[in-house]
């Protein structure tokens, strides 16, 4: 009952605090722009949307340009928010598994609701919070949980460096857990010997964009029930297209059109060193490389990952994961994609998993998406064939 009252109170505060409470996300209300400014198809972000995220939810290239609304000058000088930027995300799934052991082939129950809030205080300190109200996964009700809650200090001492502190998902790869167009998680971020790179952790991270094209991040993580820290790093460089600060390239209108006018290529590498337990510790590590190619509405993303895990009472495990995804977004309303993933968790070919996922989707309005995907997964001798339809909306 107390949880229900807390949720009702939060929704009530959002209703009265956010001006023009229309069926659009909080950032659209704050900056008075449409969802397509930052997204191709929700929740997938375009180049400008990624720049906005990296910039701590401050409009790229406009630091200090936003002025307080009339009558809100005192709040602005105090660093307080003029309104609470809160959004609700809802997801409803219909899953069909023709090989379900229980005989219940059609499952209409899985759903998830999340409250999200984010913004900036005078463009100097920014914050993000994501609170899961309820989730049903594998027929088990997960309940409430804080997914992320962090603050970021921007442009520390006038440098390009940002410092992030709190509970967050480390900025490791080009594959973002909250950026995908499918229900299935990307294999490089999924569980390997009990460890997930997509999981949120308590930590501190320093990141920044240099020269508009180079992104770098390093961080330290302090996980529960551990006497020690974990460390990670990520570096990416982008060629062509909108740069990492959100600036579009200059085009010579008098020159002949070139494929490079619309082509962008990003190369990325990352590493993570972790540990398990606080007494008899076991180390684990992940090293990966990625490439993303974007041309007009077509995106191709490829990735390779190597994982090494100390396993109690056995030889160290050497894992290899490969993934590739191609997607096409048409007119900002329709998308089609195909993904292939290969995972050898033992490194000797004995536990190979092959997965193929095609998907299509439609957005009748920018903040609502309906998608259909099929997952074919072979982990010899078993084969999984699951079809899922998802309704996702945010306001």
Helices (H) and strands (E) in the chain, counts: 4, 18
23-27, 32-36, 93-97, 340-344, range with greatest mean pLDDT: 340-344
| Mean per-residue pLDDT over the chain, rounded | 82
Residue 62 confidence (pLDDT): 59
Asked which of 185-189, 202-206, 324-328 is least confident by mean pLDDT, the reply is 185-189
pLDDT tens-digit series, residues 270-280: 999 998 766 55
Concatenate the DSSP letters of all residues of 49-109 into one string. HHHHHHTTSS-TT-TTT--PPTT-HHHHHHT--SS--EEEEEEEEEEEETT-TTS--EE--
Where do the structural domains in the chain lie, given as residue ranges? 2-394
Structure tokens that stand for 392 in this block: 């996702």
Question: Does the pLDDT value for residue 180 go beyond 80?
Answer: yes
State the pLDDT confidence band at 77, using cuts at 50, 70 and 90.
low
Confidence check: pLDDT of 70 > 60: no
pTM of the model: 0.84
pLDDT-derived band at 345, boundaries 50, 70, 90: confident
**In this predicted structure, what is the pLDDT of residue 76?**
54
H/E stretch holding 6 reads: helix 2-17
- pLDDT for 215: 97
According to DSSP, the residues that pair with 61 across neighbouring strands are none
Beta carbons within 10 angstroms of residue 207's beta carbon: 19
Per-residue pLDDT tens digits for 81-109: 666 788 888 999 998 987 777 677 888 86
Structure tokens given for 265: 């290529």
Is the pLDDT higher at 377 or at 28? 377
CA–CA gap between residue 331 and residue 104 (Å, rounded): 38
What is the pLDDT at residue 78? 55
**Domain 2-394 part of CATH 2.40.160.10:** yes
Q: Give the range among 26-35, 92-101, 243-252, 258-267 with minimum mean pLDDT.
A: 26-35
Which element (helix H / strand E) includes 162? strand 161-168
Mean pLDDT, residues 374-382: 89
Q: What is the DSSP letter of 151?
A: E
With 70 as the cut, is the pLDDT of residue 246 above it?
yes
């Amino acid at each position: 009952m107390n949880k229900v009252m807390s949720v009702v109170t939060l929704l009530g505060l959002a209703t009265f605090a956010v001006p023009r409470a229309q069926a659009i996300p909080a950032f659209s209300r704050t900056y008075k722009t449409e969802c397509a400014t930052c997204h191709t198809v929700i929740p997938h972000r375009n180049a400008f949307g990624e720049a906005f995220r990296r910039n701590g939810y401050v409009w790229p290239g406009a630091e200090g340009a936003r002025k307080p609304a009339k009558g809100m000058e005192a709040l602005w000088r105090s660093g307080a928010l003029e309104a609470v930027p809160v959004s609700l995300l809802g997801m409803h799934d219909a899953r069909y598994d023709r090989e379900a052991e229980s005989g219940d082939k059609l499952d209409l129950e899985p759903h998830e609701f999340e409250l999200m809030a984010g913004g900036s205080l005078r463009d100097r300190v920014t914050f993000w919070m994501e609170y899961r109200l309820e989730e049903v996964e594998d027929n088990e009700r997960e309940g409430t949980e804080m997914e992320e809650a962090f603050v970021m200090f921007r442009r520390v001492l006038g440098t390009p460096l940002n410092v992030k502190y709190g509970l967050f998902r480390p900025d490791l790869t080009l594959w973002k857990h909250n950026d995908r167009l499918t229900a299935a998680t990307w294999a490089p971020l999924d569980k390997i010997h009990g460890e997930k790179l997509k999981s949120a952790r308590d930590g501190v991270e320093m990141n920044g964009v240099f020269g508009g094209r180079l992104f770098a991040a390093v961080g330290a993580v302090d996980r529960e029930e551990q006497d020690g820290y974990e460390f990670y790093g990520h570096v990416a460089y982008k060629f062509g297209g909108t740069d990492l600060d959100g600036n579009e390239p200059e085009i010579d209108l008098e020159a002949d059109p070139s494929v490079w006018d619309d082509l962008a290529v990003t190369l990325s590498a990352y590493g993570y060193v972790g540990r398990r337990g606080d007494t008899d510790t076991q180390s684990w590590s992940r090293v990966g490389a990625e490439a993303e190619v974007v041309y007009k509405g077509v995106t191709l993303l490829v990735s390779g990952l190597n994982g090494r895990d100390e396993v109690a009472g056995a030889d160290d495990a050497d894992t290899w994961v490969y993934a590739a995804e191609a997607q096409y977004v048409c007119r900002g309303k329709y998308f089609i994609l195909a993904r292939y993933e290969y995972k050898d968790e033992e490194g000797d070919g004995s536990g190979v998993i092959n997965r193929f996922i095609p998907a299509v989707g439609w957005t009748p309005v920018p903040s609502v998406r309906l998608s259909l995907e099929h997952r074919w997964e072979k982990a010899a001798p078993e084969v999984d064939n699951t079809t899922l339809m998802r309704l996702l909306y945010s306001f």
